[in-house]
Amino acid sequence: MKEKFDVKNGLTRRGFIKTTGGVALAGMAAGSLFAGPLKAFGAEMPEKWDEEFDVIVVGSGFAGLAAAIEAKQAGSSAVVLEKMRVPGGNSIINGGVFAVAGSPKQEAEGIKDSPELLLEDMLKAGLYLNHVELAKTIAEKSREAVQWTESLGVQYKDRVTHLGGHSVPRSYSTHNSSGSAIVTKQLDKVKELGVDVRTQSYVMSIIQDKEGRAAGLKIKEGYRFPDESTGTVKYLKANKGVVLASGGFGRDLYFRTIQDPKLTENVDSTNQPGATAEVLMDALRSGATPVQISWIQLGPWTSPDEKGMGIGYVFNAMAGFVYGVMVDPETGKRFINELADRKIRADAIIRLGHPAVTIADSQGVRRVHNLDRALEKGVVKKFDTLDALAAEYNIPPEPLKETINAWNRYIKQGQDREYGRYLQTDSEAIANPPYYACRAWPKVHHTMGGIQINNKAQVIGLDKKPIPGLYAAGEIAGGVHGAVRLGSCAVLDCIVFGRTAGQSAAAKV
Binding mask 289-328 for ligand FAD (x = CB under 6 A): --------------------x-------------------
d(CA 321, CA 302): 12
Between 132-140 and 489-507, two packed helices, what is the crossing angle to 10 degrees?
A: 100
| Active-site annotation holds for 342 | yes
The answer to whether the CB of 244 falls within 8 A of the CB of 268 is: no
The answer to whether the CB of 409 falls within 8 A of the CB of 427 is: no
Q: Based on CB atoms, which residue is closest to ligand FAD, 324 or 450?
A: 450
Vertex 104 angle, CA 101 and 106, to 5°: 60
The beta-carbon contacts of 425-431 under 8 Å, at least 24 apart in sequence, are 425/109, 425/110, 427/323, 428/323, 428/363, 428/364, 430/323, 430/324, 430/325, 430/359, 430/360, 430/361, 430/363, 430/364, 430/404, 431/361
**196: which strand partners?**
79
- Site membership for ligand FAD, residue 479 (CB under 6 A): no
Q: Which stretch binds ligand FAD (CB under 6 A): 70-78, 89-97, 260-268, 347-355?
A: 89-97
- Out of 53, 475, 480, 504, name the contact with ligand FAD by CB under 6 A: 475
- Out of 38, 57, 58, 506, name the contact with ligand FAD by CB under 6 A: 58
Q: Based on CB atoms, which residue is closest to ligand FAD, 338 or 493?
A: 493
- Out of 50, 52, 140, 278, name the contact with ligand FAD by CB under 6 A: 278
Q: Based on CB atoms, which residue is closest to ligand FAD, 283 or 389?
A: 283
Q: Which stretch binds ligand FAD (CB under 6 A): 43-51, 258-266, 416-424, 483-491?
A: 483-491
Q: Which stretch binds ligand FAD (CB under 6 A): 6-14, 46-54, 267-275, 394-402?
A: 267-275
**Subset of 167-206 contacting ligand FAD (CB under 6 A):** 179, 202-203
- Site membership for ligand FAD, residue 416 (CB under 6 A): no
- Site membership for ligand FAD, residue 339 (CB under 6 A): no
Task: Return the exposure string of 175-189: e unless at least 16 CB atoms fall within 10 Å of the residue's CB, then b.
Answer: eebbbbbbbbbbbeb
Q: Based on CB atoms, which residue is closest to ligand FAD, 62 or 410?
A: 62
- Site membership for ligand FAD, residue 281 (CB under 6 A): no
Q: Based on CB atoms, which residue is closest to ligand FAD, 332 or 474?
A: 474
Binding mask 90-119 for ligand FAD (x = CB under 6 A): xx-xxxxx----------------------
What is the nearest approach in angstroms of ligand FAD to the Cβ of residue 239?
20
d(CA 504, CA 470): 10
- Site membership for ligand FAD, residue 501 (CB under 6 A): no
- Site membership for ligand FAD, residue 284 (CB under 6 A): no
Quickly count: other Cβ atoms within 10 Å of residue 10's Cβ: 11
- Out of 67, 453, 494, 495, name the contact with ligand FAD by CB under 6 A: 494
By beta-carbon distance, which residue lies closest to ligand FAD? 61
- Site membership for ligand FAD, residue 209 (CB under 6 A): no
The answer to whether the CB of 256 falls within 8 A of the CB of 249 is: yes
Contacting residues for 357 by C-beta, under 8 A, at least 6 apart: 326, 327, 329, 393, 395, 437, 438, 439, 440
* Helix and strand counts by DSSP (H, E) for the chain: 16, 21
Choose the catalytic residue: 170, 251, 285, 342.
342
Phi, psi of 144 (to 5 degrees): -60, -40
Q: Based on CB atoms, which residue is closest to ligand FAD, 105 or 334?
A: 105
Q: Which stretch binds ligand FAD (CB under 6 A): 35-43, 60-68, 121-129, 373-381?
A: 60-68
Total of residues contacting ligand FAD (CB under 6 A): 40
**DSSP per residue, 92-108:** HTS--EEE-SS-HHHHH
What is the nearest approach in angstroms of ligand FAD to the Cβ of residue 508?
22
Candidates 361, 321, 364; CA nearest to 345 is 321
Vertex 264 angle, CA 259 and 268, to 5°: 110
Candidates 48, 71, 78; CA nearest to 218 is 48
Name the residues annotated as catalytic. Answer: 342
| Contact residues: ligand FAD, CB under 6 A | 58-64, 81-84, 89-91, 93-97, 179, 202-203, 245-247, 270-271, 274-275, 278-279, 309, 446, 474-475, 488-491, 494
